[in-house]
Chains A and B, each alone.
Chain A
């Protein structure tokens, strides 16, 4: 496979996953803002902090309001990670590799593109039914995963797509966990309070983890939620699960089964082993925010190694 093609599939996949995650984040935070109760300020700043674009936000907006944050994360022209920009880049990458993907897949990316770039319609939807808008975007992206799954051969391109998707997803799950770190509670006593629990529940929902979490755990508590999102072996959005999937795809590409034969495999293997041999208590003792920070850095370095190994930069 052409290196450029592999690179485009990888990035197309990452951008779609990013767009879908953003759509979910916004929707859930929107929901949360309705439930938070009187006297508690709406929590929109943590969302931007978690995406890592707080500095950029401040360049364009003086204050943090719901509508500004939503616009910044979804349609702002200058935000390279806005949903709109992600989907435009996803489509641009898809165009590069049009011969590699199926007609159905291309048509859905294209349909999503036309949906998101119809400025008049978007403006109306943002004002009148924002939750429908984000639900549509989320569904549009999920439809893409389904079409990918049902129409694309399990070849090298598929493996690059898988790596891209799961690396992006692991990163997003980590960022959502970090949102909770930034959310302010009225007082330290509020830990474990209704407000605290509502926040945790919405956080689980923002990564579509609520139902699966409840199947496994009867109660909502910080420890088991963090444990679930970091270490669960079966939940498709847990960080550990994402790394397993990415590792399988990497080995499929090289044909190697044990150890490593390239730098990407080495870094990912080391990272996965680290997760395998630590546990929730060690994480909480060390500090969740610090742990997440390191993990994000390590995941980025896996991505760098994938680029250097296969895409020549």
Chain B
């Protein structure tokens, strides 16, 4: 019986989250390693199989659009968890709070007074040319002045293990259901390690989400719904999962109708007013009367009801302007401007091609940099310098010169690695980190995250569509912290 074998494990010069540079195991991972040392690879393979099956059985699948019935795939869950010490986490938490707080103020300003533009901290053209900036939202005051309620910021750890922000996802961040279900699966798979480590719980996420949404209405018992594009959307599992966990209705656009300037849902007993909508439909598709006219997913007139304050939308339409890739470069300035503080969680160095000096640097170093289109996502409109041909580089230089404001560039980041089981053997694989943040009566960071892992050897691409998998993320308490102790229960009667 062979146990999980770390003897051939290579760090290849990357920051490894389990071992430090001289190969010593980091304290947070010690109980896990002890457990893996006594576990046979056969057992682990069985557990891996059981975990895949568990995912299918609860319908944790996403659709690949090709076949007539659609292929349903799972996001492979690697059984080795990613463990983050309480100290590291607390720093990330403070940084995220700061960032979200500032971005929210930025959104409120940009759609109202625009002081930050008048003070010339951010050039006006940059906002005007940003496709996520919605003219329709100018003058809108969302309930409680909150624009970003549910956020999934992408963090990475760099070559020194320092957290950095890769992307602010303010629109419709997905993946939180994976954070929750991965935890359930891992608790069943590695119960003994759980007992030894003090892992901070994430299970109350749905309750916190519900509180966040309830906070947006002044009614004592507001009617909340989750608005989904439907069962063919790749995140449908998550939409239904969250509606169920929050005990609210899961609605599609056709279930809603605007009546007397209120949003109502069609029920078996007639129309019923809806007060808060957690919408998982993009801005463009929300309301065919105000945005894209060909949208069949949305609700005609919804945006007008929202503007008049008769329904709350989470997240607020128009908030994508704050996670635009060009605006991203200004986040340190945004934090300084609104909060008077220095940024805690650093950005990746970013070159804005609209700046003459930056553009010159980018063009001179195009073979070393990652060039991104500011309104691109999912890996489209992107050039990875070191992996590109001279032709592609020339093409990008041409494109940058034609439309400089549409491009930014960043150095290639060597993402940190975590041991990942490849055919039963642990090998280092690159990971990112997506914590989830809720902004209601306070900015709350959920102590957990979705860790996406690039399963292909050497790959830095963690996207699910390109061979990515996931890991459960265990956030520990700091040494002097601990879970709140509940009061002793009454003893039961015995004879």
Nearest residue (CB) in B for A7 is: B268
CA A234 to CA B141, docked complex, whole Å: 63
Q: A95-B240, A99-B244 are in contact. Are A3 and B266 (CB under 8 A)?
A: yes
Is the CB–CB distance between A5 and B249 below 8 Å?
yes
> Which of B59, B231, B267 is within 8 Å of A106, CB to CB?
B59
A96 within 8 A of B: yes
**Bitwise interface map of B from 241 to 258 toward A, beta carbon under 8 Å scored 1, else 0:** 101100111111011000
A56 within 8 A of B: no
CA A267 to CA B249, docked complex, whole Å: 31
Least Cβ–Cβ distance between A127 and chain B, in angstroms:
24
CA A1 to CA B255, docked complex, whole Å: 11
Nearest residue (CB) in A for B241 is: A98
A312 within 8 A of B: yes
A252 within 8 A of B: no
B56 within 8 A of A: yes
Is the CB–CB distance between B267 and A1 below 8 Å?
yes
Q: Give the residue among B250, B265, B268 with the most A Cβ atoms within 10 A.
A: B268
B485 within 8 A of A: no
B58 within 8 A of A: yes
Least Cβ–Cβ distance between B185 and chain A, in angstroms:
14
Q: Which residues of A contact B244 (CB under 8 A)?
A: 98-99
A103 within 8 A of B: yes
Segment at the interface with B among A25-33, A42-50, A107-115, A211-219: A107-115
Is the CB–CB distance between A253 and B57 below 8 Å?
no
A66 within 8 A of B: no
Least Cβ–Cβ distance between B204 and chain A, in angstroms:
18
**Bitwise interface map of A from 131 to 152 toward B, beta carbon under 8 Å scored 1, else 0:** 0000000000000000000000
Is the CB–CB distance between B267 and A2 below 8 Å?
yes
Q: Which residues of A contact B265 (CB under 8 A)?
A: 2
Chain A stretch 1-48: residues in CB contact (< 8 A) with chain B: 1-6
Least Cβ–Cβ distance between A278 and chain B, in angstroms:
32
Nearest residue (CB) in B for A103 is: B58
Q: Which residues of A contact B57 (CB under 8 A)?
A: 107, 110-111
B residues contacting the other copy or chain, number (CB 8 A): 24
Count A-B pairs with CB separation below 8 Å: 59
Least Cβ–Cβ distance between A200 and chain B, in angstroms:
41
> Which of A6, A95, A103 is within 8 Å of B268, CB to CB?
A6
A298 within 8 A of B: no
> Which of B236, B252, B268 is within 8 Å of A310, CB to CB?
B268
Is the CB–CB distance between A106 and B58 below 8 Å?
yes
Chain B stretch 5-28: residues in CB contact (< 8 A) with chain A: none
Least Cβ–Cβ distance between A54 and chain B, in angstroms:
26
Chain B stretch 24-83: residues in CB contact (< 8 A) with chain A: 56-59, 69
Nearest residue (CB) in B for A93 is: B231
Is the CB–CB distance between B266 and A110 below 8 Å?
no
CA A1 to CA B240, docked complex, whole Å: 16
A156 within 8 A of B: yes
Is the CB–CB distance between B59 and A110 below 8 Å?
yes
Is the CB–CB distance between A110 and B58 below 8 Å?
yes
Nearest residue (CB) in B for A96 is: B231
CA A72 to CA B289, docked complex, whole Å: 47
Q: A3-B255, A96-B231, A103-B58 are in contact. Are A253 and B268 (CB under 8 A)?
A: yes
Least Cβ–Cβ distance between B464 and chain A, in angstroms:
19
Q: Give the residue among A5, A88, A312 with the most B Cβ atoms within 10 A.
A: A5
CA A1 to CA B269, docked complex, whole Å: 8
Is the CB–CB distance between A2 and B58 below 8 Å?
no
Q: Which residues of A contact B248 (CB under 8 A)?
A: 99
For the complex of A and B, list the 5 residue pairs with the smallest distance between their C-beta atoms, beginning with the closest: A99-B244, A98-B240, A99-B243, A310-B268, A3-B266
A-B contact pairs, 7 of them (CB 8 A): A95-B236, A96-B231, A98-B250, A99-B247, A99-B249, A106-B58, A106-B59
Known: A6-B268, A110-B59, A253-B268. 10 other contacts (CB 8 A): A1-B267, A1-B268, A1-B269, A96-B231, A98-B240, A103-B58, A107-B57, A110-B58, A111-B57, A310-B268
